[in-house]
Amino acid sequence: MEFTQSFEITKWEQAAYDEGGTIELGKATVGKTFTGGELEGTSTAELLMAGTADGPAAYTALERFTGTLGGRKGSFVMVHGASAGASGSPGMIVAAEGDLAGLTGTVFFQHDEQGPRVTIGYELP
């Protein structure tokens, strides 16, 4: 099954951890809320980021969603990331528990004039 759903970013706490040279390395804790679709719940992501004076260069993230997917309750972890110039952030579901145990799939995050959204293609046992 595949679907696309918008979400709300509810938290963004960012800090640099290495500011040597012209490239800054940072990390951010990001909270999201998903409502009105296949996903109902919240997630927390930890991002590692690289940036330059010209803007963002790349990020990678581990994110845990907790709530329901297609009416099944549980949580799952995604890994995703992108570099500057990419049209979105591809990733995959790497672990799941509760009624979502055995969940596999892909994720694709986008942020543009349509707002933040994710496309998830998944299979459940």
**DSSP per residue, the chain:** -EEEEE-EEEEEEEEEEE--TT-EEEEEEEEEEE-SSSEEEEEEEEEEEEEETTEEEEEEEEEEEEEEETTEEEEEEEEEEEETT-SSEEEEEEEEEETTTT-EEEEEEEEETTEEEEEEEEE--
| Higher pLDDT, residue 40 or 112 | 40
Share of the chain above pLDDT 90, in %: 91
- 87-105 pLDDT per residue, tens: 999 999 999 999 999 999 9
Dihedral-angle region of residue 35 (phi above 0 means left; psi in -120 to 50 means alpha; beta otherwise): beta
11: Cβ contacts below 8 Å, ≥ 6 apart:
29, 30, 31, 44
Give the pLDDT confidence score for residue 47 in this predicted structure.
97
Query: 91: domain CATH number?
Result: 2.40.350.10
Mean pLDDT over 50-63 rounds to 93
Mean pLDDT over 29-42 rounds to 97
- The whole-model pTM stands at 0.93
Give the pLDDT confidence score for residue 20 in this predicted structure.
82
pLDDT classification of 10: cutoffs 50, 70, 90: very high
State how many domains the chain has: 1
Dihedral-angle region of residue 102 (phi above 0 means left; psi in -120 to 50 means alpha; beta otherwise): left
Give the pLDDT confidence score for residue 85 in this predicted structure.
87
Range of the domain at 85: 2-123
